[in-house]
Structure 1
Amino acid sequence: MVSKPALEFLLFYKPKYREWQNVDNSQITNKDYFNYIGAIVDLILVEINNDIGNRIPDLLDNFSSYNVEQQKNIISYLFEVKINLIDIDSRDKILEKLREILSRHREFPEEDWSWPEPLLDQLEKVYSLYLYNDVIEDNKYLFNDYWPNIINPVESYRNDYDIKEKLILQKRISSVENVYEKYGVDGIVKLSESCLYPGLVGEICSKSAISDLVQQLALDALEEKSNNEFATSFISELARQDNDMAIELIDKNWSSNKKVHYLLCIPISEKVIEIVDKLDLEGKILFWNNVKYYRVIGDKIDLACEIANKLLGYGRPLTAIHSISHLFRKREHSSKIDSRLIGAILVDIATKPNNEGHLLQNIRYEILEAIKFVQSYGDFAENEIIIIEWFFLKMFRNERIKPINLINKVKNEPSFFTQLVIWVTKRNDNKHDAVEDISEDIKKNRAENVYDLLKAVNIIPGQQDKKDTDVNIDILREWIAKSREGLEKNGRLGIGDIYIGNYLSKSPLGDDNIWPHNSVRKIIETIKSKDFENGLVTGMLNSRGATWRDLYDGGAQEVNLAKQYYEDANALQLIFPRTANVLRSIARSYEGYAKMEDQDIELS
């Protein structure tokens, strides 16, 4: 039953921010507040045995809200509880909450919120009272969390991360040594089976003075499901300390399966590969399908290439590219890496099903670096690199790395551009294209690639490269003539002109600093195609991208752009009248955009 002060508090505490609530000028005093809190504490203490595992941690969580007398009552209660009647789960919750409080307040003793040491000493005595007095049960918390709470931690203000890490390591080592001293190997097994991270027990055992004494336990557990985490972590730490010594532990009489499970715990090396090569086929497949420690430390390029080649051969191209990708970062490695191997890995990634459990996007960076390497240093024919770039076109989106060989193919081969347009458009001459014996999914992916490629193209026919501000009119004229001829033969001249216009909208500025280049202007005036001109307008408008503006700027940016395009149109009117009309169309579009932006401001 709630006490009278608490009931009075609840009666006069009403919502403050509701128009419909009656005005009440009652003031809540500190005395009222603490009476209310005291009533809640009394009620919890009365009902605490109904859910002791949650209610004691709740009391401790709010300990600083209580007055001194209430805190004394709670601590007294904690000392008086019949601990043996508390179930294990509840007892573990209480111990964890006490560790959390003691650790946090002692780690930051200078903070205003930190509790005084006499109070913490009292809580530490409570903590000691609730312990199991069993070396396994009282220490397994050290292996239930990678950063466990320690009741006597180092002070964060005076010590760094490394000292805290060393303290936890010392406590863990001491705990496994004490467990072994009392219970032997059986105690280590019980500890690893009862904690959340048995692998952590194995690692610590390998670092401790009992390493040699529990080594056989780890070797015997290699092929067991129950203690496998313990065994793999023990051996991995052993190999980290001395890899050669770890390899020497391999017994020639072991089964192929056990050898593989052991080798999977060890960083890969020439010796490891040599042992694997001597295994039967089943052992080789098991190893190369499961190896995780495949990255070579240092600049052992030949070894890295051999590992990548093995992984590729056993159907793991994604892992293969990841295993060797770190070598792409140093230019001096370029001549030593087998570029044909990198190309083969990329082709397998693109053409074969992904059965590795990796998401392609997770190694996007590594794949792009591999493509960049192949583009720069690969011993490939141009068509081979083009195929690789085509496979990975989607990965080039919003990246600095570009499909440069595909871009040059579009620029230099009008027949290729024509084919791209054919793949994404329909005929308009009442004829039909030849039926392709490919799935709809392939057609869809191909169309997406076409759009990605045409968006990525950043130079036009007649330009040498992106930095070249000149456009050779003869090359451009010939490219357009052949493209239009091919498009007309395939019933796509009108829509094709739109695509050509979109493409040529990427033209550089002319000599007068006005877009488009003089060579493109001459083409506009020559072919007199409204579709082509519409494509130029659309392409130029779409090239603007996203914009940023102040909240109430409205269409000011668009107004300025429209003004500039009108001025450019007037400058070109006499010599290039159709080009001037293209510029005016762009200006009118920006005027429309400006009105929409202004309307948004008026409505907001």
Structure 2
Amino acid sequence: MFDSHWLELPTEDEKKDLHDKAKIVSELRASSLSAIYQAERITGIECLIEVCTEPSIVGATLAGVPWGEGYWMEWIQEKLESFDNGTHMSACIAGFLRTAASPAPDALLKKVVELGKQRGWPSVRLASFLTLAIPNRETWQLVESCDHEVNTEYWDRVQPYHQTNDEDLDFVLEQLLKAKRPMSALYCCQFKLQETAPGKIFLALQQLLNCREIDGPKIQSWHLEKMLERLESSGEFERLALAQLEFGLFPFLQHGRGDNASALYEAITSEPELFKELICAIYKPEHGERQEVTDASRATAGRAWDVLHHCKRLPGTQSDGGIDADKFIHFIQEARELCSDADRPTMCDQTLGQILSHSPADEDGTWPFTPAREILESPELEHMRTGFITGTINKRGVTSRSPWDGGDQERDLAAHYRNQAERVQHSHPNVAAMLDQLAQGYERHGKREDVEANLRKEGF
């Protein structure tokens, strides 16, 4: 009866709708509690609370029986001193406080606070009891009537669920941020982002990078991305501040892909100095002394690598998706100069090549588009062409096929890249050779797939 929220009713009752079934279950539970109370009084109820699986159901049922309030007053007088949070009894109390109609829960809370003050309860104990109540204005006013320590302890512990009232939500966020609980604050506002002040979202996300909330709720990457979209669309923050925030949050965004870190990628592909800093964070200089690697520098390097590895935005990209060729070329030239001065030219070129692999095609279908071909054609940029090949292979992602299909997919890709190579073999021979190298690689891959498919057909 009190071990599960859902009860299996007799066949006739099971045919009724949910409302009628819930009413039948409530009546059965109330009748059972009344019988126990009449026979064993408070001792019988307490035994039930301790042995049942869902003591909160007992509390919720007590809220609906005529003698329920009297039970709690009797319990307060006899057992309050032995109360401890995190027990079956505390779960039962929470069930009562969150189910009973006003003013019963308010009266119980006020009585407990009064007795707690009289008996010198520590602030932690009193605050823990108050967290069992519904987190609403009435409870918060009672919390504020206590001393500062109780208030602090309460907001360090309470788990407020989603607030429907905008004023209440704003108040809750303010208190949680004061308590350095960014995960709880973000959890409360994740479904009401448009009603939440962007400044509070920004502050909570900043706290998330600097504060570790123990046992805080988990925030899905999808919600974090929507929060960043809210900040970007608000127009209240500098792009650099948003870029720094997205860099810190990058591991949490789409499992590291960070597809929605638009401010970060705009900064990286617009500011050559920032691009250079990321290259320097990842790669050691090619000559001279190398700095000692620390845990902090290793973590920064890993995050910077993830960011650049997933960069699909080309330099010079405009708000309408078009690419300014002059800005495109200028960024690559300046980034190469800065990285060369920092003694990291090779990995700079390879990284730029991987980014260029996301280039669009020209209007006639020739790929990559003309500004990228002009850059990649330079004889000295062999490392950039190597990076382009790596990026092109990597962006293909995971493939699926029948176990007996062989390498048809790879042969189609090889034909595509060979066709592109033929288009530019006279105007851009180095780019054509690069594309032909891609085609040859996929042809070899296709042959391996053929061998494996044939082996599977023969039962190996």
Which band: TM-score by shorter chain? 0.7 to 0.9
Are 1:215 and 2:96 counterparts?
Answer: no
2:173 paired residue among 302, 308, 313:
308
Matching of residue 376 in structure 1 with residue 241 in structure 2: no
Q: Distance in 2 between matches of 1:505 and 1:589?
A: 16
* Structure 1 residues not aligned, in runs of 5+: 1-141
Q: Is the 8 A contact 1:463 1:472 kept in 2?
A: yes
1:171 aligns with 2:28: yes
Name the structure 1 match of 2:305: 451
Structure 1 counterpart of 2:116, from 255, 263, 277: 255
* Structure 1 contact 317–348 (Cα < 8 Å) conserved: yes
Matched, 1:341 2:200: yes
Alignment partner for residue 413 of structure 2, among 561, 565, 568?
Answer: 561
Q: Give the match's secondary structure for 2:143.
A: helix
Residue 326 of structure 1 aligns with which residue? Answer: 191
CA deviation map 1:5-29 (0-9, x unaligned)? xxxxxxxxxxxxxxxxxxxxxxxxx
Using CA pairs below 8 Å that are at least 6 residues apart, which structure has the higher relative contact order?
2
1:527, distance to aligned residue in structure 2 (A): 5.6
* Structure 1 CA distance for aligned equivalents of residues 274 and 381 of structure 2: 22
Offset at residue 175 of structure 1 (A): 0.8
User: Structure 1 residue 365: deviation in Å?
Assistant: 4.1
TM-score, normalised with respect to structure 1 = 0.68
Amino acid in the other structure paired with 1:405: A
Answer yes or no: is 1:545 the counterpart of 2:409.
no
Which residue number in structure 2 is paired with residue 53 of structure 1?
none
Letter of the 2:114 partner, please give it.
N
Residues 243, 266 of structure 1: 8 Å contact kept: no
- How many residue pairs get matched? 445
Specify the SS of the correspondent of 2:115.
Answer: coil
Asked whether the equivalents of residues 305 and 324 of structure 1 are also in contact (C-alpha less than 8 Å), the reply is: no
- Residue deviations 1:247-306 (CA, integer Å, cap 9, x gap): 24414633255753453222222232222223213211221122124432x2x2222121
The correspondence for 1:402, drawn from 260, 271, 286, is 260
The TM-score, its normalising length taken from structure 2, stands at 0.88
Q: 1:592 to 1:285 in 2, by over 3 A?
A: same
Q: Aligned AA for 2:239? A: E
Distance 2:30 2:190 in 1: 37
Match of 2:55 among 178, 198, 204: 198
Selected match of 1:269 from 130, 136, 141 = 136
| 1:234 positional shift | 4.3
Contact (CA 8 Å) 1:276, 1:287: kept in 2 or not? yes
Cα distance in structure 2, aligned partners of 1:492 and 1:345? 37
**Cα distance change, pair 593–182 in 1 and its aligned pair in 2 (3 A):** same
Query: For residues 424 and 320 of structure 1, what CA distance do their matches in structure 2 show?
Result: 33
Counterparts of 1:325 and 1:577, CA distance in 2: 53
Secondary structure of 1:571 counterpart: helix
Residue 292 to residue 492, structure 1, CA distance change in 2 (3 Å): closer
Structure 1 residues 371, 588: closer, same or farther in 2, change over 3 A?
A: same
Q: Which amino acid aligns with 2:59?
A: G
- Cα distance change of structure 1 residues 245 and 533 upon mapping to structure 2, 3 Å threshold: same
Instruction: Give the number of the structure whose alpha-carbon radius of gyration is greater.
Output: 1
Counterpart CA distance in 2 for 1:364 and 1:567 is: 40
CA deviations 1:452-477 (Å, max 9, x no partner) are 21133222112214732xx3332122
Matched, 1:350 2:202: no
Q: In structure 2, what residue type is equivalent to 1:180? A: Y
Q: How has the CA–CA distance of structure 1 residues 459 and 465 changed in structure 2, closer, same or farther, with 3 Å as cutoff?
A: farther
Change (3 A) 1:236 1:168: closer
Structure-2 residue corresponding to 1:586: 438
Matches within 5 A, 1:11-410: 142-148=1-7, 152-154=10-12, 156=14, 158-220=15-77, 221=79, 224-225=82-83, 229-230=88-89, 232-234=91-93, 236-243=95-102, 245-249=104-108, 250-251=110-111, 253-256=114-117, 257=121, 260-296=127-163, 298=164, 300-328=165-193, 331=194, 333=195, 337-354=196-213, 356-358=214-216, 360=218, 362-377=219-234, 379-397=236-254, 402-410=260-268
Q: What's the % identity of the aligned pairs?
A: 22
Letter in 1 for 2:157: N
In the alignment, what sits opposite 2:336? 484
By how many angstroms is 1:219 displaced?
3.8
The unaligned stretches of length 5 or more in structure 2 are none
Q: For 2:320 and 2:439, how far apart are their aligned partners in 1?
A: 26
| CA-CA distance at 1:153 after TM superposition | 4.8
User: For 1:587, what is the secondary structure of its paired residue?
Assistant: helix
The question of whether the paired residues in 2 share the 8 Å contact of 1:267 and 1:294 is answered with: no
Q: Which amino acid aligns with 1:166?
A: K
CA distance in 1, matches of 2:259, 2:24: 47
1:155 CA drift (Å): 5.5
Tell me the CA shift for residue 409 of structure 1.
0.8
